[in-house]
Amino acid sequence: MVNTQLPRPFLRGEVARRPATRRKSWRGGGEGFSRRAGETPHPRSARPLPLKRGEVSSVKVFLLAFWCSFVSCATALAGSPPKLIVIVVGDQIRADYLERYHDALEPGGLRRFRDQGMYFTHALMDHAVTKTSPGHVLIGSGVSPAQSGIVGNDWYDASLGHAVSAAELVPGGRRVQLRWFVGSSLAQRIHASRPQSRVISLSLKDRGALLLTGPDQDGAYWWDSDKQDFVNYSSIPPPWLVQFNRQIRSFARQHKKWNALTGVTSKQARDFAETAKLTKGHIKDRWGLGRKFPHPVPSIKALMNSPFSDDIVEQLAETAVREWHLGQNPSGDPDVLTVSFSAVDLVGHEYGPDSREVMDAFLRLDRAVGKLIRSLEQQVGPDIIWVFSSDHGVTSFPEVSRARGLPAGRVRFNKAAISPEGLVEAVSPPFIYMNEAVLRGQPQKRAQAVAQVRDGLQRMEGVDKVYTVIDVEGRQAPRVILRSFYLPKAGEVKRCGDLMVILKPYYIFSEDDYGTTHGQPTPDDQRVPLGFYGSGIKRSLHEEPVSPAMVAPTLLKLLDIPASDLAAPAAIF
Ligand SMILES: [Zn+2]
């Protein structure tokens, strides 16, 4: 079952509804930000209104985009124009974490978005391949995989005979250039109109740093696991980065054990114990972190796969803001910083979303975000707009789902299992690439082979639907599939293969019996948090469905930069 509709609301409570008054916004201009003449601030109503369960379940994302653009889901913005825009992405933060662990969050961390900012309880990744790279591109640049060509974290390139990475760089040039990104990125759009604005990105993961604002960033920093250092786009790291890397060694010596940050309720303790029992044989322990608290952290590799890596990335963000003087641009233009925190994703793949380890990693992310907010407000002042979202959710361990009475399982997805006859050249979930050496120049045989592979896949347990390129070209597929499938332009090599496999909810692609994953158009993988907080943003809580694709148009609107060519035209405010 492909999730083409938005999920049912899972929250009751305060809902901000259609404002009775016209919105007000800042507009950038040649002389910096100024209010448009004749506009006066209209604080929006955010009084509690009950929402009937299921009320918005049939509303589709595009209708919401339409709705937003006309009635404005937005709050009025008041106060000073921003000096800095910060996009914070928590990798693999499922939307329900903020609710589930709300009471354990600290007041100055993620709760600011949920309780003091503009927060959307029903944000949904509206593409099918819910993975890190397409998710970051959607949040940062507002474009789907079909538009950006970033169809996964990697994909098979038949002309090269191997997989390529979405984060592959093109060396040279003053600003970051990426090999596979098609079209316009957020950084390119900003620089086209405001060349003095600095766009700086950082993350533990290369794709987390490079893909959020895309090509044309002024600076990008990420962890190179081979070099065991943070690196940048240029091959020559700045002295401050060299110094930062030195400090990691002493940080590692001080963090040899990962203890749980907080206590848990007796119900949580029972649930976590049950999860631990069910997942026991399915945790690979690749990094030596062990299977239970207190977890040893025996190496730098283990450190970087533990929640402590978020503390390091937070520290790197503070340092980068200081070194770049972000938020103090002499031109008066606002700067942009993006920070993608990876630890919950790494812990989530290993221990699963129902584990105490993920709760702890999430709470530590919360503390790291709180520290970053406090530090940047100290460095830059209050004129900062913050965005918080996630690139995707995650599916529970199938073993946990089955214990809850849900149909669930691990789908083995390899060439031999899919086509023992050798009709398949490569597999890169969810895509399958036919064997061109056998089929080239034989259209009839090729069509038969595709049909044979498709029919075989559809008989596999856990497979919901299989789409072919022909389905996509003929637009005989749901929108969420069409948005995920990049059709090559003349001279380009195909990226999405010949078939795309969609699993049923609670099933995962799994070549071994370890861990869990995401990457499907199911509510668990698609639903993410989305919040705005900071300068001029009024508190409001929204249950209407939105796509994180609206972040980029919203930020561009704030900066008075045209975004008319974006497929997701609606700015949130
Ligand atoms: Zn991710």
**Distance between CA atoms of 110 and 383, rounded to whole angstroms?**
18
**Which pLDDT belongs to residue 81?**
76
353 Cα: distance to centroid of ligand 1 (angstroms): 13
167 Cα: distance to centroid of ligand 1 (angstroms): 13
Backbone dihedral region of 303: left (phi > 0), alpha (psi from -120 to 50 degrees) or beta? alpha
Domain residue limits, the chain? 81-145+183-400+525-558
Nearest to 352 by CA among 279, 425, 298: 279
152 Cα: distance to centroid of ligand 1 (angstroms): 11
Q: Are 541 and 14 in contact (CB under 8 A)?
A: yes
- State which H helix or E strand residue 245 sits in: helix 239-254
325 Cα: distance to centroid of ligand 1 (angstroms): 29
Query: Helix 239-254 and helix 308-324: axis angle, to 10°?
Result: 150
77 Cα: distance to centroid of ligand 1 (angstroms): 31
Who's near 405: CB < 8 A, 6+ residues apart?
Answer: none
Cβ neighbours around 149 below 10 Å, total: 24
132 Cα: distance to centroid of ligand 1 (angstroms): 3
196 Cα: distance to centroid of ligand 1 (angstroms): 31
**Distance between CA atoms of 15 and 13, rounded to whole angstroms?**
6
205 Cα: distance to centroid of ligand 1 (angstroms): 9
17 Cα: distance to centroid of ligand 1 (angstroms): 32
449 Cα: distance to centroid of ligand 1 (angstroms): 34
What is the C-alpha R_g of the chain? 23
**Which pLDDT belongs to residue 398?**
98
154 Cα: distance to centroid of ligand 1 (angstroms): 13
202 Cα: distance to centroid of ligand 1 (angstroms): 14
39 Cα: distance to centroid of ligand 1 (angstroms): 41
CA dist 467 to 74, 155, 272, 429, 481, Å? 37, 17, 38, 13, 8
88 Cα: distance to centroid of ligand 1 (angstroms): 13
Taking the chain (573 residues) in runs of 10, the rounded mean pLDDT of each run is 39 30 30 26 28 33 38 44 95 97 96 96 96 98 96 97 97 92 94 95 98 96 97 91 96 98 96 97 96 97 98 98 97 96 98 98 98 97 97 98 98 90 95 94 95 96 97 96 95 96 98 96 98 94 94 90 63 62
Please tell me whether residue 543 adopts helix, strand or coil conformation: coil
What would the DSSP string read from start to end of 31-87?
TEEEEPTT----PPP-------TTTTTT--HHHHHHHHHHH--PPPP-SSPPSEEEE
346 Cα: distance to centroid of ligand 1 (angstroms): 9
Structure tokens at 376: 């940047």
**Which pLDDT belongs to residue 173?**
83
CA dist 405 to 198, 399, 506, 521, 524, Å? 51, 10, 11, 21, 16
147 Cα: distance to centroid of ligand 1 (angstroms): 19
400 Cα: distance to centroid of ligand 1 (angstroms): 21
Q: Which fold has domain 81-145+183-400+525-558?
A: Alkaline Phosphatase, subunit A (3.40.720)
Who's near 131: CB < 8 A, 6+ residues apart?
Answer: 152, 153, 391, 392, 518, 519
